[in-house]
Amino acid sequence: MDLVLLVTLGVFAPLLGAIIVGLSGRRLGDLVSKTITTGLLFFSCAVSWIVFSQWTWGGLEAFTVELFPFINVGDFQSVWSIRIDALSAVMLVVVTSVSSLVHLYSWGYMAEDPDKPRFFAYLSLFTFAMLALVTAADFMQLFFGWEGVGLASYLLIGFWYKKSTASAAAIKAFVVNRVGDFGFALGILTVFWMFGTIQFDELFPLISAKAGTGWVFLGHTWSALDLAGALLFVGAMGKSAQFFLHTWLPDAMEGPTPVSALIHAATMVTAGVYMVCLLSPIYEYAPTAAMLIAITGGITALFAATVGLAQNDIKRVIAYSTCSQLGYMFFAAGVGAYQAAMFHLFTHAFFKALLFLGAGSVIHGMHHEQDMRKMGGLWKLLPVTYAVMTIGTIAITGLGIPGVGGLAGFYSKDSIIESAFASFTNGHSAMGLFAFFVGILAAGLTAYYSWRLVFMTFHNKPVWKDAHHDDHAHDDHVAHAHGEPSADDHAHDDHAHHGPLSPHESPLVMLVPLLLLAVGAVAAGFVFAPWFIGDHEHDFWRGAIFVSEANHVLHDSHYVPIWVKWSPLILTLIGSFAAFWLYVMKEGMARRMADRGGIVHGFLYNKWYFDELYDVVFVKGARAVGDLFWKVGDVKIIDGGGPNGMAWLSRKLANGLGRFQSGYVYFYAFVMLLGLAGFLAFAIYTWGA
């Protein structure tokens, strides 16, 4: 079959599955619905790996297939296309590989859910929106996919819509992303205003000539490319949960665990990183916007790592881990190491999906308990889950020996940290030095909270043996089915587990995806490092990522001082040992410290109080402004001075005049005499004059 036709079918296969199952799932039944959507996803995955292998080893050249006109308004021309280059080939593999395994995993995880066709239809819709995004040849199709994943995330996060917390989390994700998307739309309009086109192939060759273009506003000349780049990055901040617009990401854990894996590993949150790397021709000539990306990424990496130290929900720990790792990717792109950013995106997809689905296996085996304080001692009862989550933990901490090797995260994370230092030494960029120190510090924190999760969950005293689970049943599936409160409201139902827990390993349909992802977490680094950031990187990217002649960051990262190469390992070992000492050697000490509370623990546990701050500033602030305009502006000023004021005046005048209507003849005669006297006085005065 022709490769172009095969790619087209691969991109649209998830949409076909979503339409068929979404419209006819109840008639088709659960098994047929799952088979259709999962089968089509595995077909897309196979196509994606064919494209990726042909690009990497077969000499495939970049191509664009124009399918049909999308939007034609004057010079604003958009054609629905499928664009294949190194970036899209990487993203196709990432998206379809994780999504197909998530579909398969969901066969077991969602087995008790009464609404499986709807769930699988939403998953496929999510995947198609992401595929449309990464194969877009212009900003309009990119924006379509951008909004498509936003819609699908709303549907999936709020899948158990009868849970108030799930509905609130879905709305929160939708609203926060609209803030970012507003900036993204303004960025697209700025690009169109500057260049008169939104087609990438037409746009990118024009950028260097416009590098000095200014835009006069409020008496100051602003760099137009920096403005466009900053606005576009605002969209990435929302979609990829960067500092200030990150608050939706932890709450997204209210959705089913497979959704968490799909959002965090392969789809929505990686869209911003992909977009920044795709638009490298803009950011290479927009140094201020690039600096903004580096600063925001560095702050996000550190912020999320600190918050992850104090969380107790197993999924939330991994969620903040995602937020931190995205910060790594962005500050890599901000210092010019776009290839390293994409490599970390690639490796991160495997070990982050592994960790989330592994957490789902723990939750499944613990009868939907998510609080790590109620776990412990599970390594013997869930041996496969324990093994793969240990692999995922080693991968995400980047544990490895410079010059020897390690798991996937070692290659990509160390490349980012070394690139940050190289940007400082060769470009004298303060941002590079900032990113370097943030990177190694976040590496130590990542090791601490990652191993903390493992020790609390699989080691330590098995708390669940002494606890009765019926007081805090965490059965989200039944809560959805019966419309009961969420687990956080301590829902009770007929299916909740009563008495001591009996943890168990997950079924094979859930373990197979975990084992396959574990292979990726082990091998994706050393297999693909030469192609993404090593000897073959020029042959691999082939112009898909643009770097200016002055940008030698990736090349120079291979020649940083030896202490720079060893710094991440040292911090990782310190963080790992600290977790081992507190949670294994001195078991119980960390819990006693947390129980005592304190300013630092409260600050981290409450996520730097961002939700409370936003509630005061935006929610209560908006309500106060609304009350001001309503109660003062509308009621007192407009209504008071308008209809209500005139009615009051008319009423007062009527009451005053009504007093003259006494009904007594002598009163009327007296008034008439007064009137006559007044008339005569006026006449005498006038005639006398």
Mean pLDDT, residues 201-212: 90
Q: Residue 436: what pLDDT?
A: 95
Instruction: Using the predicted structure, report yes or no on whether residue 345 has a pLDDT greater than 50.
Output: yes
pLDDT mean over 643-672: 78
Q: Which phi-psi region, left, alpha or beta, contains residue 670 (left: φ > 0; alpha: ψ -120 to 50)? A: alpha
pLDDT (tens digit, 9 = 90+) per residue, 170-203?
999 999 999 999 999 999 999 999 999 999 999 9
Phi, psi of 266 (to 5 degrees): -135, -20
56-62: average pLDDT: 92
Higher pLDDT, 661 or 519: 519
pLDDT, residue 476, reads 45
pLDDT score of 636? 79
For the chain, give the percent of residues with pLDDT over 70. Answer: 94
- The pLDDT assigned to 141 comes to 95
Two tokens, residue 116 = 């499986």
**Model confidence pLDDT, tens digit, residues 12-23:** 999 999 999 999
Dihedral sign from CA coordinates of 134, 136, 142, 147: negative
The one-letter amino acid code at 269 reads V
Amino acid identity at 440: I
496 vs 26, higher pLDDT? 26
- On average, the pLDDT of the chain sits at 89
Non-local CB neighbours of 524 within 8 Å, separated by 6+ positions: 346, 347, 350, 408
Cβ–Cβ under 8 Å, residues 486 and 614: no
The span from the CA of 428 to the CA of 287, in Å, is 14
CB contact set of 127 (below 8 Å; sequence gap of 6+): 14, 41, 44, 95, 96, 99, 262, 267
* φ/ψ bin of 283: left (φ > 0), alpha (ψ from -120 to 50), beta (otherwise): alpha
Residue 308 structure tokens: 């992850």
- Of 38-47, 224-233, 301-310, 586-595, the least confident: 586-595
Phi and psi at 684, nearest 5°, equal -65, -45
pLDDT digits (tens, 9 = 90+) for 210-236: 887 887 766 778 889 999 999 999 999
**pLDDT tens, residue by residue, 120-169:** 999 999 999 999 999 999 999 999 999 999 999 999 999 998 888 999 99
> Is residue 425 pLDDT above 90, yes or no?
no
Mean pLDDT along residues 264-284? 91
| Contact predicate 511/361, CB 8 Å | yes
* Number of CB atoms found within 10 A of residue 244's CB: 18
Categorize the per-residue pLDDT at 473 as very low, low, confident or very high, splitting at 50, 70 and 90. very low
- The per-residue pLDDT for range 390-409, each reduced to its tens digit, is 999 999 999 999 989 999 99
Q: Which pLDDT value is given to residue 689?
A: 57
Average pLDDT on 33-40 reads 96
Which of 45-54, 457-466, 579-588, 662-671 is least confident?
Answer: 662-671
Find, among 432, 418, 438, 417, the residue nearest to 335 by Cα: 432
3-state secondary structure 74-137: CCEEEEEEEEECHHHHHHHHHHHHHHHHHHHHHHHHCCCCCCHHHHHHHHHHHHHHHHHHHCCC
Flag whether pLDDT at 375 surpasses 50.
yes
In the predicted model, is pLDDT for residue 657 greater than 60? Answer: yes
Confidence grade of residue 591 (pLDDT, cut at 50, 70, 90): confident
Cα separation, 473 vs 479, whole angstroms: 10
Confidence of residue 558 (pLDDT cuts 50, 70, 90): very high
Q: Are 39 and 21 in contact (CB under 8 A)?
A: no
Residue 467 confidence (pLDDT):
59
Q: Are 127 and 155 in contact (CB under 8 A)?
A: no
Q: Which long-range contacts (CB under 8 A, 24 or more apart) does 320-323 make?
A: 320/250, 320/449, 321/352, 321/355, 321/396, 321/446, 321/449, 321/450, 322/241, 322/249, 322/264, 322/265, 322/269, 322/352, 323/241, 323/246, 323/249, 323/250
Q: How many angstroms separate the CA atoms of 664 and 325, rounded?
A: 93
Higher pLDDT, 679 or 117: 117
Count of C-beta atoms within a 10 Å radius of residue 1: 7
Q: In angstroms, rounded to a whole number, what is the distance separating the alpha carbons of residues 382 and 362?
A: 8
